[in-house]
């Protein structure tokens, strides 16, 4: 149960958090690369968790989120979706708006 508590805590403590394979600067899969690139282009700070370094989270998060794949983007405690949804929102300009509004509402939460 403590893995789920850790996930809940990460989501609560970070306005924008991406669960991905690798890191934004060194992604370990194409989908994580696309998702992190889109987020970086939004120009706001975001947290990330490398699920390859955290097998417990990799195992538990799909059930917790009811979302089977990675990456997973969470904004203000809500699951936004995976790579396809992130890229579609980015191309429409929706991701930039969502991310900047979330960052504006939670300035102290960003490091």
Q: How many domains does the chain have?
A: 1
pLDDT, tens only, 37-65: 999 999 999 999 999 999 999 999 999 99
Tell me if 105 is assigned to a ligand binding site: no
Tell me if 6 is assigned to a ligand binding site: no
For residue 97, is pLDDT > 60?
yes
Range of the domain at 37: 2-109
Residue 35: predicted pLDDT:
98
Question: What are the strands of the beta sheet with 47-50, ordered from one edge?
Answer: 47-50, 16-20, 72-75, 78-81
Tell me if 29 is assigned to a ligand binding site: yes
pLDDT, tens only, 5-18: 999 999 999 999 99
Write the CB contacts of 105 (distance below 8 Å, at least 6 apart in sequence): 15, 76
CB distance 18 to 45 below 8 Å: no
Tell me if 83 is assigned to a ligand binding site: yes
The CATH code of the domain that includes 8 is: 3.40.30.10
Closest CA to 59 of 19, 11, 24, 15: 19
Arithmetic mean of pLDDT, 88-92: 98
């Amino acid at each position: 149960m403590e893995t789920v508590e850790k996930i809940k805590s990460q989501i609560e403590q970070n306005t924008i958090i991406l669960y991905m394979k690798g890191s934004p600067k060194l992604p370990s899969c194409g989908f994580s690369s696309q998702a992190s690139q889109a987020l970086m282009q939004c120009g706001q700070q975001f947290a990330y968790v490398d699920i390859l370094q955290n097998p417990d989270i990799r195992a538990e998060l799909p059930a917790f989120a009811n979302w089977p794949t990675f990456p997973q983007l969470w904004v203000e405690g809500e699951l936004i979706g995976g790579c396809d949804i992130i890229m579609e929102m980015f191309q429409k300009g929706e991701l930039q708006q969502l991310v900047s509004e979330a960052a504006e509402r939670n300035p102290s939460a960003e490091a």
